[in-house]
């Protein structure tokens, strides 16, 4: 006689040991498959072993990841002629640095020009075989004549220059005739031949300007002419530094 089915543990044991093992095995397999499915669903939403976030689906904030943003587009290449604000093309070129001003050159100012007059009839001069004449138009109303043609010579002594160099000499002379020739020698050097035009009378004074070299200190200027008569002389005026 077959056992009767019932409820509770008594009923279970009544179905037989083979059936009981079959029921328990099927139940265990069902539980395992269910746990496997749940575990598969959980693994699908977690990051992979590589450590990166999943390519799809939302990322939970408590897992240490941030929301995925759209990729930054690459910077487009500027079109020809385009200038970006703030780029090197828009910046003004720095002006070149001005060189420092050069220091003023130290120059020594030239010595002031000294103008000195020397009278022809002065006793300080060399008056060999000359003759002193009265001359209303001359400085000091006197002049020196009888110079040249083997007669006399006039030498100005003590013509002083503080520094060596060229000096301007203004010769005041008197010539009532046609041009006469005279010679000038400085410090006994080679003579300079000069032609003195007529002044219109023996009391009228004319001037001739020459440039002569002087040495520092006293100098001599000699008036003569070994070949013909020279003019009469009133004075000389020397401009020298």
Q: How confident is the model at residue 49 (pLDDT cuts 50, 70, 90)?
A: very low
C-alpha dist (Å) from residue 40 to 33, 37, 43, 109: 11, 5, 5, 108
Q: Is the pLDDT of residue 85 over 60?
A: no
CA distance 157 to 75: 98
> Cβ neighbours of residue 48 under 8 Å, at least 6 residues apart?
54
Beta carbons within 10 angstroms of residue 29's beta carbon: 10
Contact 173, 234 (CB under 8 A): yes
Sign of CA pseudo-dihedral 181, 129, 141, 188 = positive
Percent of the chain with pLDDT over 90: 49
Structure tokens at 11: 């009923």
CA distance 55 to 32: 30
Return the pLDDT at 64. Answer: 45
Length of the chain, please? 241
Question: Higher model confidence: residue 36 or residue 193?
Answer: 193
What CATH class is the domain 114-240? mainly beta
Structural domain boundaries of the chain?
1-38, 114-240
Q: Specify the DSSP class assigned to residue 147.
A: B
Q: 154: which strand partners?
A: 127, 223
Q: How confident is the model at residue 57 (pLDDT cuts 50, 70, 90)?
A: very low
Question: Higher model confidence: residue 24 or residue 109?
Answer: 109
Return the pLDDT at 37. Answer: 64
Contact 154, 129 (CB under 8 A): no
pLDDT digits (tens, 9 = 90+) for 149-182: 889 999 999 999 988 899 999 999 999 999 999 9
């Amino acid at each position: 006689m077959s056992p009767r089915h019932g409820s509770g543990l008594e009923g279970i044991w009544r179905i037989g040991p083979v059936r009981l093992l079959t029921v328990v095995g099927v139940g265990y397999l069902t539980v395992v498959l269910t746990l496997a499915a749940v575990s598969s669903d959980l693994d699908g939403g977690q990051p992979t072993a590589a450590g990166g976030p999943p390519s799809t689906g939302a990322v939970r904030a408590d897992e240490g990841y941030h929301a995925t943003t759209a990729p930054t587009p690459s910077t487009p290449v500027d079109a020809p002629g385009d200038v970006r604000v703030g780029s090197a093309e828009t910046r003004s070129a720095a002006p070149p640095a001005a060189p420092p001003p050069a220091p003023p050159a130290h120059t020594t100012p030239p010595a002031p020009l000294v103008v000195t007059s020397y009278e022809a009839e002065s006793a300080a001069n060399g008056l060999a075989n000359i003759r002193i004449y009265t001359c209303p138009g001359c400085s000091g109303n006197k002049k020196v004549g009888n110079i040249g043609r083997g007669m006399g010579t006039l030498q100005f002594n003590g013509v002083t220059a503080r520094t060596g160099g060229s000096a301007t000499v203004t010769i005041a002379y008197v010539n009532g005739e046609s041009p006469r020739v005279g010679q000038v020698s400085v410090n006994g050097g080679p003579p300079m031949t000069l032609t003195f035009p007529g002044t219109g009378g023996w009391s009228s004074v004319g001037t001739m300007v020459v440039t002569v070299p002087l040495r520092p200190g006293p100098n001599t200027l000699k008036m003569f002419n070994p070949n013909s008569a020279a003019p009469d002389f009133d004075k000389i005026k020397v401009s020298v530094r």
